[in-house]
A and B are shown apart, each in its own frame.
Chain A
Amino acid sequence: MSPAIAHVAAALLPGAADPTTSFPTPHLDYRALLPMLIVGGVATLGVLVEAFVPRGKRGITQTVLALGGLVAAMVAVVSNTSIRNITAEGAISVDGPTLFIQGTVIAVSIGALLLIADRALASDADFAAQAADVPGSAAEQASVRAGFVHTEVFPLAMFAVAGMLLFPAANDLITMFVGLEVLSLPLYLLAGMARRRRLLSQEAALKYFLLGAFSSAFFVYGMALVYGYAGSVKFADIATALSSSTHGDPLIIVGLALLGIALIFKLSGAPFHWWTPDVYQGAPTPITAFMAAGTKIAAFGALMRVLFVAFGGLSWDWRPIIWGVAIVTMVVGAVIGVTQTDVKRLLAYSSIAHAGFLLTAVGGITVGTADSESSVLFYLVAYGFMTIGAFAIVMLVRDADGEANHLSRWVGLGRRSPLIAGIFAFFLLAFAGLPPTSGLWAKVAVFKAAYEGGAAPLVIVGMLASAVTAYYYVRIIVLMFFQEPAVDGPTVLAPTVFTSAAVVIGVAATLVLGIVPQPLLDLAGKAVPFLR
C-alpha cells in the first residue's frame, strides 16, 4: 500500500513529484489543423448563439456564422495546399488526399448548408417545429402555429462537418474512431427531425443510430485486435508490423475485417447498406443531401487511408474482399433501384450503386501507384455536387403535404415546369454517366483505374450495372417529359436565393467538370499519394 500512497501524493502535490519529471509539450501544427479548428470553433460558437442571441435573430446569425465558417475553412484548406505534414503527435496526417477531401467536404457542405438554411427557416420548413412534441399531438400543432424553428440544426450540422474533416485526416485508429463518432452523432439526431411524416423520420433516426452504434462497436473491436497484433494503433506502426512478418496472422485479418465492416457501413456498401434507403427517405431532405454527399466522401477518404497506409502489406488479403463488396454493392444498387417508386429511395439506391463504382477503383489500385487513387478523389467531387443538386430539386417539388416524393406524382413535370425538370434530368444524366456531365469522366476514371489495376471483371460488372442504373434514370426522364401531367399534380416551389444558389453550384460544377475535367484530374493527381 505504501508505494501507492506515495504515488497518489506525487499525483496530487506537484511539489512532491520527482524533480526530473517534466511534461512534454505536444507539438501541434496549428496551420495544418486550421480547417478543423475553424469548423469546430464555429460549431461551438453556434451553441453559444443558441444560448445568448434572442430567438428572432438566431436564424440569420447561425446562417451567417456557419457559412462564414465554412468559407474561412475553405480558404484555410486552399492556403495549405503545399503542406504535407504529419502533426498532432502523429495523430493527424495533413497530406494531399486529406486536403483534397477536406476541400471537397467543405464545398459540398456549403451547398448542403444553403439547403438547410433555406428549409430550416422557411414558414413551411422541412424541420420539425419542436422535435420533442409527440407526432400528431395538439402540442405539435401549437408549436407549428407558434412558428418555432430549431436553429440548433446549424451547430449540429457544423459538428458533423468537423467530424467529416477529421475522419479522413486521422492517422491512427483512435483518432479515426473519434472522428467517426463526431461525424455520426449529429447526423443521427438530424435524421429524426423532419416536420412531415415524423414517425417515419424518427424510425429512420432510431435505425440509423442503432445500426451506426453496432458498426462503431465493430470498429472498436477491430481496433483492439489490430492493437493486439501490432502493439500500436498508429497506421505507420501497423504497416511496419505487417512488413516485418511474412505470415498472415488471424488476429490482424479479423481485425481488418471488423474495421472494414464499420467503414463499408458508413459508405453504404452492400451488404451493410440496409439503413441507407430508410434513412435517406425518412430524414429531412436537406439532411439527406448533406449526409449522402459528405459522409460518403469522408468515409472513402478514411477507407483508402486505412487500406493503403496501414494495411497496404495485406493487400493480397483485402483485395478479393473489396472486389466482392464492390460487385455486390453495384448489383444491389442497380437491381433493387429499378423497383423503387419513391424518388428519395431511388436516389438512395443510386448512391449505393455509386459506392460500388468507387469501390472498383479501390479494389483495382495496386498499392504504391498513385495515379489510380486520384480517380476516386475526382469521382467523389463529381458525385458530391450532383447529389446536392439533385436533392435540392427534390425539395422543390411539393404538394399540400410537403414534398411529393412518389414517382407517380412526378409524371408530366416537364410540361409544367420545364426548367426544374430539365435540371433534374441533367443531374440524372450525370448519375448515369452520360456526356456532357462530370459523371462521364468520373466513371471513365474509376473504370480505367480498375482495369489498369487488373480488375477487369469489376469493370464488366460496373458497365452492366451502369446500364441498369441508366434504365431507371432515363425512366424518370421519360416520365417527366413524355407523359401527360396529372390534373392534381404537385406544384413546384419557386426556389429561394439559397436553394437557387445550391442548384447553380451543383449544375455549374457538374457541367464544367463534364466539359473540362482535366484541371481537376491534374489537381487530384497532384494530391496523391498518401503520406505514410
Chain B
Amino acid sequence: MPTAILASGLNASGPETAVFWILAPIAVIFALGMVFSRHTVHAALMLGGVMLILAVFYAAQDAPFLAFVQVIVYTGAVMMLFLFVLMLVGVDTKDSLVETLRGQRFAGVVAAIGFLLLLFTGIVNAGIHGSKGLHAVNFADDQPARGVENAGGNVYQIAKLLFDRYVFAFEATSALLITAALGAMVLAHRQRHTPKLTQRELMQQRFKFGTHPAPLPGPGVYARHNAVDTPALLPDGSPSPLSVSLSVELVSQKHGRAPRPAELGSSAAAHHPASGKGQSE
C-alpha cells in the first residue's frame, strides 16, 4: 500500500516505475534473506545487495549524490568493514541465542512495532499532504538576495551547503580526523626497544650459543596418535623431547591428554635432558 501512495504522490515516470517494480521485490527478498540467513557471511552479502538496490532507487529518483555515497560509503566501506570483522571473529562463530537481558526480546518487539508505526505514519502523511516535489527541492532558490541562479540539482545544493554555509565546520572536521589518526598511533603503535635482528644475525647467534643449529625435529605422527603433542621417536626407539613444543605439551595436559603415550617405551625418562627441554620452547 505505501508504494501505491508513493507512486500516486510523486508522479513517477514510466521507466522509474518499472525499475521500482523490478528491483523492489528483489530488495525485499534480500532483506528477508539477511534476517533469516543462518550464515553470517551470507547475511552480510545480502545486506550489500539491499544497499546496492537502494543506490539504484536513489539514482532513479534524481539523487545522484546520495546514490554514489550509498555505493562508496555503505556498500564499499561499511560493508567491507563488516566482512573484515566477520573474518577476524571467525566465519563459523555462532551467536548464542539465549536471552541474557530479561525481557529483551519483548522490548525488541515493542520497539520494532513502534518504529514500523512511525515509519508508516510518516509515509502515509507524505502521501496525504502531498510533497513539495523533487523539482522544488532540487532547484530551491533559498538565497534570492545574492542573485545567484541556484540551478544544478542536489549535488550542487549539497556542495553549496558544505563549501559555503558550513565551510568552517567542514574545515574544522579535519582537525577531528587528524586527532583520530594521531590518537590511533599513540594508543596502538609500539616502538621497538631493540633493533630488529637480521637473518644473518639470527643465524650467527644460533651457531654461537645454540646446541642445536639445525631445525628441531617434527613431532611424531602415528596411526594412533596423529597429533603435534606426540613426540617423535629417535633411532633407538626413545621419544625425542625436542620434537614437542613445551607450550603444546602444556595445552594438551590442560585438556587431560597424556602427551607421551606410555607404550612408547620406558626409556623415555632417560632421554629427558633439562637443557634440551628448555631449548625446545
Contact = CB atoms under 8 A, between A and B. Distances in A.
Interface of A: 1-4, 7-8, 10-11, 17-18, 20-24, 26, 28, 33, 40, 43-44, 47, 50, 88-92, 130-133, 139, 142-143, 146, 148, 150, 152, 155-156, 159, 162-163, 166, 174-175, 178-179, 181-182, 185-186, 188-189, 192-193
Given A132-B188, A133-B190, A18 B59 contact: no
B57 to A, nearest CB: 11
Nearest to A36: B172
A132 B187 contact: yes
B250 interface: no
Contact of A178 (B160, B176, B185): B176
B190 A139 contact: yes
A148 B172 CA distance: 31
Interface string B153-179: 111100110011111110011011011
The 8 closest A-B pairs by CB, nearest first: A88-B168, A20-B149, A11-B155, A189-B183, A142-B193, A175-B169, A7-B153, A8-B64
B172 A179 contact: yes
B176 A182 contact: yes
26 contacts: A1-B59, A2-B15, A4-B62, A7-B154, A11-B153, A17-B152, A23-B163, A24-B160, A24-B164, A26-B163, A44-B175, A44-B178, A47-B178, A88-B167, A91-B165, A91-B167, A142-B193, A143-B193, A150-B186, A155-B182, A156-B179, A156-B182, A159-B175, A179-B172, A185-B180, A189-B179
B166 A143 contact: no
A189 B187 contact: yes
Contacts of B186: 131-132, 150, 152, 156, 189, 193
> Main secondary structure on chain A at its contact with chain B?
helix
Interface residues of B, number: 47
A222 to B, nearest CB: 17
Nearest to A25: B164
B168 A163 contact: no
A1 B19 contact: yes
A40 B64 CA distance: 34
Nearest to A145: B193
Given A17-B152, A139-B190, A4 B59 contact: yes
A383 to B, nearest CB: 26
Nearest to B58: A4
Contact of B168 (A28, A130, A146): A28
Contacts of B190: 130, 132-133, 139
Given A21-B152, A179-B172, A47 B160 contact: no
Contacts of A193: 186
A336 B167 CA distance: 45
A213 to B, nearest CB: 13
Nearest to B67: A4
Contact of B191 (A10, A91, A130): A130
Most chain A beta carbons < 10 A, residue from B16, B143, B183: B183
Contacts of B233: none
Contacts of B146: 24
Given A7-B64, A152-B186, A189-B183, A143 B191 contact: yes
A481 to B, nearest CB: 41
A178 B168 CA distance: 10
A336 to B, nearest CB: 31
B32 interface: no
B11 to A, nearest CB: 13
A132 to B, nearest CB: 5
Nearest to B171: A40
A175 B180 contact: no
A374 to B, nearest CB: 27
A184 B154 CA distance: 33
Interface string B45-82: 00000000000000111111101000000000000000
A312 B88 CA distance: 52
B151 interface: yes
Nearest to B151: A18
Nearest to A192: B187
Contact of B62 (A7, A92, A130): A7
A21 B149 contact: yes
